[in-house]
């Protein structure tokens, strides 16, 4: 949270797209560092990490604190940290599987279904999930990685190189990212006002029209009032 607070201290001094670049370059790699190791953390610790990310996202967009977390993350094309950790686990598992990591780790990977059966099966690219007798090993790396690998579609598991599987995992987990054009504004205050209006948490009367809190006869009046007020504030 210390780095997030530093981001807050300059939120009114630099444009929003600069805050977004700072977050992607300096803060997000801190969350990703060692994520393969600490992925077995408790649910409360995972929620603390997610709250830090949503706080940073709200600082970047300039929206109010009561805005829905998923709406803020989708607005700037960010995914939850749990999804990023799953993607990092699969990437490291791919490295171990195809000899891009230590040979010691490669010897610990269970065999694939095509190596256990001479027939061409539909799940030939799946991995045999290790059977652990102790509950403490249910959340181990190889067991979780094997379960995530088996749940992937065929076009991801049949990737021929590490770069291709990285791109396909990005498409599978994150989908198509939209351009954050709304962050490219010279005035941080105007950009935050636009974000609040876009996410439906503005104090303007357009918010009433969005949630149908006013009658249909007065909808056009509220809309025109909100439009003129927004043009006056952005001028």
Q: Give per-residue pLDDT as tens, 86-130.
A: 999 999 999 988 888 888 888 888 777 676 677 666 777 788 777
**Residue 235 predicted with pLDDT over 80:** no
Please tell me the pTM assigned to this model: 0.74
Q: Name the percent of the chain in helix, strand, coil, to the closest 5.
A: 60, 0, 40
Of 92, 62, 57, 76, residue with least CA distance to 169: 92
For the chain, the distance separating the N- and C-terminal CA atoms, rounded to the nearest angstrom, is: 35
pLDDT digits (tens, 9 = 90+) for 10-65: 888 888 888 888 898 988 998 888 888 888 888 888 899 999 999 998 888 888 88
Separation of alpha carbons 17 and 184, rounded Å = 6
- Please state, for a pLDDT cut of 90, what percent of the chain lies above it: 5
- In contact, 95 and 162? CB cutoff 8 Å: yes
Q: What are phi and psi of 230, to 5 degrees?
A: -65, -45
Strand partners, 112: 127
pLDDT digits (tens, 9 = 90+) for 158-203: 888 899 998 888 888 877 666 676 677 667 777 777 777 777 765 5
């Amino acid at each position: 949270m210390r780095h997030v607070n530093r981001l807050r201290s300059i939120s009114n001094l630099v444009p929003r797209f600069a805050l977004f670049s700072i977050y992607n370059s300096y803060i997000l790699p801190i969350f990703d560092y060692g994520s393969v190791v600490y992925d077995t953390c408790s649910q409360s610790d995972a929620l603390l990490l997610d709250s830090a990310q949503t706080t940073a996202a709200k600082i970047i967009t300039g929206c109010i604190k009561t805005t829905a977390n998923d709406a803020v993350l989708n607005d700037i094309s960010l995914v939850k940290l749990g999804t990023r950790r799953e993607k990092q686990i699969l990437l490291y598992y791919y490295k171990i599987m195809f000899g891009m990591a230590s040979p010691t780790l490669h010897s610990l990977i269970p065999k694939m279904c095509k190596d256990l059966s001479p027939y061409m099966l539909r799940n030939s690219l799946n991995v045999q999930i290790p059977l652990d007798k102790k509950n403490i090993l249910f959340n181990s790396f190889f067991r979780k990685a094997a379960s995530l690998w088996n749940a992937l579609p065929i076009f991801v598991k049949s990737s021929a190189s590490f770069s291709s599987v990285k791109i396909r995992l990005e498409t599978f987990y994150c989908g198509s990212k939209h351009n954050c054009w709304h962050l490219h504004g010279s005035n941080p205050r105007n950009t935050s006002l636009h974000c609040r209006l876009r996410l439906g948490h503005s104090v303007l009367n357009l918010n009433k029209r969005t949630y149908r809190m006013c009658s249909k006869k007065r909808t056009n009046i509220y809309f025109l009032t909100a439009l003129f007020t927004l043009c006056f504030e952005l001028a």
